[in-house]
Structure 1
């Protein structure tokens, strides 16, 4: 059976040559009808070998006349296309999807275009419009991420209900046994009777909860698989394949989202309780007569069900103070603050890339400390109450005393060039690389290096084209791509990513994690700080009183941010109040 996308051929290669046998390339449309017809032409647009009769449609239909036909004998092989696993095939005719009907918003193969859409006014080739929209893919992934989170909520609710159910059932026995000392025989029978009914209810309920959890796990698996498919096609597929995937996946995502929403609407709280009657009938009657209480088995749904989808708070910024960074007497050039971070006590530590300095500012942005470095620093992070780490040629650890005296403690040397840096936990950093296909790495405080389990694209970021940060609560890495106007959110656990593109994000540079795990990004060309949700939704954009914001950091109590700019002749450092 021929590989998908290639014509059926009979060859007379040197390994199996037979006298009198000639190479024949068969017509692909005819082969699909079990007819053996020699191909006379190859259409590079249709990507098919065709006989004279099948190729004649190119002259009878106007929208096919610009296809390029060549003699089949001149084409020996065709380049293998990326395997879309059937997603690029027409469901009705099992042919490659090549057209898009803008009138009816439908993907079409050549047969669909001729038969079903011949009266439509705008049937265009996919390859001519495939690059129009790039946002649908991110929207699909954001929606799939929300599907996963909702399904996880269902599982969490099921587990909680199971734990509560088990606890309630255990309490039944304890409550009954406290009464059994007075009426041993009666309460022995009572325990057996109640436990039997309760266990029966428990078994039935657990089966129901197991089915709920199983369905939600399937939804998670489907969402994860779809996200991986979208990433795979985005990285390896053609624009046409990406367009086809986005159009075909949209219906699947909507259906998956609808199924999860239905599961969320059917969440229930399961309880088991037992209450004694005020009087006990001790006459020797059957157990059904003298049970001193009643077993209550019920499901309950809260009257006002709160939406499971979390509402991301929008932060508000207010400028507190601002200073111009002009060249002073001991500066070689106009200062450029390439790294910022707050110490735990609220002081701001910065590094001046142009003048090779580490500087300390108080809450009024008054300079209170300075230290001369021997290299151009790239970024800085506060490690503890009195220690910071600076990236440059290596990573330097500096002590910053309460009295603002700065001294060099130690240096960790590396072969890899590191730029942006932030804390991962008490013993490790997350660092962004320069000119390395491992865009983000992990470095311990003692200097040991290791990699994330992330499939990064095979590209390298030169200096000042990318920055990273780490979301500790959700184990995600955020990476900005200045040249592509893109913010990537990598989920470490699932090895998936969300691609954030928006008109409000132009040349994203510095990035930091704000309150409620939101992402704050400096948009250099729009002169704004953009807020993004943990799932990749753009929430707000704050216009700054400065041009070309460059780097941003957030205080430890999430109440302040500091922003530096990189505008030549007008560089600033600003302190802003953060309210949410």
Structure 2
């Protein structure tokens, strides 16, 4: 006989079988005894010996005992599923300790709660419960509804996962087909242009060939004539022939020489631009696609900003070179799209280009003291001028040649500069009441519709940057050891003050559009747009000054302004 048959409501009813109830106190002693009585208060089947305890202990005398043979046992039985049993003693829960707010069996009441002031029988207080059972039922129904919703979500996630995996395969194949069609179109176009060029070149060669054949015939004819005269002619004839032939020969030689000088070697080829040409490595190293797995349970869950990790790549000392007058001070740095770095040297009035290893590859002399630089396009940068009302555009070729493009005259002195969009800059001012302004590429100047503090600052106090995705302006204040984040849309601001922020200087937009700030404590701070300091990275230089981040947010470069120990360092960014 199974143990489950001994507890009320726990056995499975099998047609044709007479259910035998076992004494539950005996079962707890590993003894199987048929039950003779059922105690509705203890909610237990008991044999005669075990049920006699009701006649011994006064506390149990009010319990109601019925014979298991009586028909009303089934009506008394309730499917409690052991909820009415003590977890420690596996006995019926008959009492409630009002002092400790705990249910207890008779053993617990005697041994564990004998010092408590109010231990009452559950039977006496059960009818006095004021909270309706429907409240508990409703809560259970809500929990069940939530669990069912979760189960549906899990099933839906499984189905969506299969769907998305198939879509990835389809999207990649579609992209491959589109790329192949692009190359097919490219092939048709290039071959067509090549054939046109071939036809034009052949026509030119044919003309040159005709002219050359005429020259060759003239030379051959003259040669035959002079040889005949030298062989058979008189001295007078020879003299006349020489005089006349020499004049004709000079003209002929000059014509042949001219044709030779205009003759060019035929060479036609096709080369891919470096932006599309791939090294002989796996395509997964270069294709800008990412496989992402996201679980969305609530639509209003905010994204969590991750702290970045910096790994040093290279560091160089910024010392005077042969053509420098003073110790270099890089007041502006920015990455070109191909990974090169552009820097401006305020003290020596230069614009410089560095390769990916921080090796200097070009230097361009300026006529003014530059303050900041920003990359405008693949081969163009813009520079603000110290104590001058202009922004100069320079062309920086892929061969590292620097030339002046144009100058944009303005009415305000600007320090820091960054891109707002493909037509405008966000520029930090100095000696102005407005800390930042908007300047177009053509020199039109506008103000932000934001209530900035009425404070006039010199050039080395404030620096600014702009977050395109959220339309926010970031301003550092070196004197107040504060970073301000202004929301342009709502005209609100976040004031970031922290023990880690000391004399902040340069600022840049980092991974996930977090804010990177140079702190006077020789650190780079990463700050979220809500003002939380996410990470702090100690760097090997005093007085960090300017910071910039590559276009793909994978590299960071920082400079300092420490006299006699100026450096520039590059880091690899990971999260």
- TM-score when normalising by structure 2: 0.48
Larger radius of gyration: 2
